[in-house]
Each structure stands twice: as C-alpha cells, then as structure tokens.
Structure 1
Amino acid sequence: MLQFNTMPGHLVRRAHQVATAIFVEQMTKEGLDITPFQFAALSAIQMQPGLDQATAAAWTACDRATMGGVLDRLVEKGLVLRQISDKDRRARVLHLTDSGRAILQKAETVALAIQDSLTQGLNPQERDILVDLLQRVCDNHPK
C-alpha cells in the first residue's frame, strides 16, 4: 500500500505550503506587504535593472501572464517602474523605484531569517544537500 506522506511530490507540496506560510507570517510581522512571488520579481529586477518582463518571468519560473499580474501590483504599489524598451517597442523593461529598493532590502533580511526557520533542525551540511537536491529536481524539470 502506497503511503502518500512519504511520496516526494506530496512532501514538496507540503514544504511549499510551510515555506509560503512562514514567508507571509514573517513579512506581515515586519510590516511588509509582499508575497513570495513579488519578492522573487523584485530580486530579479535588482539583479539586472532594465530586464524585460519575459526575462523576469523566465528567471522566476513563472508564465508571462502571471508575471504580468505580479508586475501590475508592484507598479501599483510604487515599487517597480515599467517602461517601453528603447530597443524593442513591444518589450517592457523594469526598474526598481527607490521605494522598491528599500522594501527589497528590508525583505531580504527577513527572507534570510525565514530560510533559517524553514531549515531548522538541519545542520549546515544537510541544508546544503537539501538545496542541491531541490535544485537538481528543478533543473531536471524546467517549467
């Protein structure tokens, strides 16, 4: 008889639930109105200011339509500036606003603490192994 609670797919889903709950709880506690996906989008834009929406979507493993909605909300919050690209009028390039940089800086500190909370009970070597294994699963199944 299969035990669903020992299946990798179930455990990954459950771990995602736990990670999202901790993220939302901690960000809210710090007064930050930011979702995990918004955090990823802001981080991608910080990594390469002026990147286009399609690249931001690819880097965050998100479809373009969903990323468009995430960016709409970030623009509405005044955290991201979206402009027509000088190189391709069909593309939109993204930049963090001063508010976006400030929020991301605070959120990064919280996100690092969240990672520690999420992996409590693991020693540093086990944490490295977990990250390596999860990365390999993701690399083997891109989008």
Structure 2
Amino acid sequence: MKDNNDMPGHLARRFQQIAVAVFLAEVGDAGFDLTPVQYAALATIKANPGLDQVTLAGLIAYDRTTITGVIDRLVQKGLAERRASSRDRRARELEVTDEGRRTLRKITPAVESAQRIMLRGLSAREGEELMRLMRKAIAAGNELSRAPLRDVQA
C-alpha cells in the first residue's frame, strides 16, 4: 500500500488546500473578500467583456451549475453585472463594473504575493518546472474532468 505522499491525487488536494488558504490570507490581509474562483471569474470577465456564463464556466474550468452562484456573489458585491444580450434576448452577458475594475487593480499585488508564497519552498527553476509539469498533467487529463477547460472559441 502506497503512502499518501506517493499518490498524486493526495498531493494535488493538499496543494489546493494550501493554495486556497494562502490566497484567502493574502487577499484578506489586503482588505478584500474574494475567493480564488470569484477572482478567476472576475478577471476572465474583464478580459472577455460580454461573455455568457456557460463560456465563463469553460474558460475557468468551473462547473456550469455552480458558476451561477459565483456570478450571483460578484453581482451582490457590485463587481460584475448581468445584461441582456444584444444577440440573444434569452442570454445574459457579463460585464465588470467600475468597482470590479478598481478591485482587480488593487488586489493584484496580493494575488501575486499569494502565488509566490505557494511556491516559496522551491527555487525559481523548480517553480517553473513544477508549473510546466502541472500544465502537462492537467492538459493530458482535461477531458476527464467534470468541468474541462475550454478555449474561447469552443
């Protein structure tokens, strides 16, 4: 029987726990109340103005059913808004508000700090190698996920 530290699933889960804790601590210390998923959604909406929730879910590899709650919280916080689509009256387009843009600008140093802290036990070269290997493993397993990452064109 393998020890947990020899199992990639266990290590991925532990790294995720650490990553979320570090993100919340850094962002909280900077005076912001955003989860990693809310941040990813907000940054992605800003980069792709007018996108719909289904496309957003694919771009951040998030479950379609739970993305609604993420958007609801961003709207409640005044950081994003839903608008009726000009192309399809049934669809809703997402936009970042002025407050959302301000938040993204001000939160960036805390997010960058969190990324550095997550890799602090590694040299710069080791950090790059870990990132390369994680991207490679994730790309190979993307379609196995319940929420596969999708390109903008998809």
- Compute the TM-score of the two structures, normalised by the length of structure 1: 0.95
Letter in 2 for 1:59: L
Letter in 2 for 1:111: V
The corresponding residue for 1:136 is 136
What's the Cα RMSD here? 1.0
The corresponding residue for 1:33 is 33
The corresponding residue for 2:67 is 67
Q: Which runs of 5+ in 1 are unaligned?
A: none
**3-state DSSP class of the match of 1:26?**
helix
Q: Greater RCO between the two (CA within 8 Å, min separation 6)?
A: 2
Letter in 1 for 2:122: L
The corresponding residue for 2:77 is 77
Q: Which runs of 5+ in 2 are unaligned?
A: 143-147, 149-154
**3-state DSSP class of the match of 1:87?**
coil
**3-state DSSP class of the match of 1:50?**
coil
Give, in whole Å, the separation in 1 of the partners of 2:111 and 2:6: 28
Give, in whole Å, the separation in 2 of the partners of 1:83 and 1:58: 19
The structural deviation recorded for 1:40 is 0.4
The structural deviation recorded for 1:90 is 2.2
Letter in 2 for 1:62: Y
Letter in 2 for 1:86: S
Give, in whole Å, the separation in 2 of the partners of 1:10 and 1:90: 42
CA-to-aligned-CA distance 1:43-85 (integer Å, 9 cap, x gap): 1011111111111100110111111110001001100011111
* Residue range with higher mean Cα deviation, 29-38 or 46-55: 46-55
Structure 1 outlier segments of 4+, above 2 Å: none
The corresponding residue for 1:58 is 58
Report how many aligned residue pairs link the two structures. 143
Letter in 1 for 2:100: G
The corresponding residue for 1:14 is 14
Give, in whole Å, the separation in 2 of the partners of 1:46 and 1:65: 21
* Residue range with higher mean Cα deviation, 82-91 or 12-21: 82-91
The corresponding residue for 2:145 is none
Give, in whole Å, the separation in 1 of the partners of 2:25 and 2:129: 26
The structural deviation recorded for 1:121 is 2.3
Contact 1:39/1:107 (<8 A) preserved: no
Letter in 2 for 1:3: D
Give, in whole Å, the separation in 1 of the partners of 2:84 and 2:55: 15
